[in-house]
Amino acid sequence: MSKNQLHNRPELKAARRALRNNATSAEATLWRVLKESQLAGRKFRRQHSIGPFIVDFYCPAERLVVELDGAPHFTSFGSAADYDRDAYLTGLGFRVLRFEHKLVFQALEGVLEEIERWFLEG
């Protein structure tokens, strides 16, 4: 595999695995309804790397990244890192959709509807 490959770089494999094995409760909850093409027949991958970044969820058919944001994202450092990451991903033609962790628990149906809406707008 080329060191310059974009998806699932070999050097990030251990980090991807660790993130999958230590998913937040919000990630685990959302994954239960995204896995096995349950949402509008779209396949999602979890903890998928794109370039130097590992994204929470990725739908290849839609070129859509779904990120769940917890407390670390709401600091000045976290916000700046998210901005840089989103700019990198959108610069490559990916669309990035972000939700707060609490929304997965408070309004899961709304989160799923919003993700589906992005399918239609693509």
Over the chain (122 residues), the average pLDDT of each successive run of 10 is 77 96 96 97 97 97 94 63 94 96 96 93 58
CATH number of 35's domain:
3.40.960.10
Total structural domains within the chain: 1
Q: Does some domain include residue 1? A: no
Look up the domain containing 85 and give its range: 10-121
Q: Does some domain include residue 54? A: yes
Q: Does some domain include residue 72? A: yes
Q: Does some domain include residue 95? A: yes
pTM score, whole prediction:
0.90
Q: Please state, in angstroms and as integers, the Cα–Cα distance from residue 102 to each residue in 11, 21, 48, 89, 105, following that order.
A: 32, 21, 22, 24, 5
Q: Does some domain include residue 88? A: yes
Q: Does some domain include residue 107? A: yes
pLDDT at 1: 44
Q: Are 10 and 89 in contact (CB under 8 A)?
A: no
Q: Are 113 and 33 in contact (CB under 8 A)?
A: no
pLDDT at 71: 59
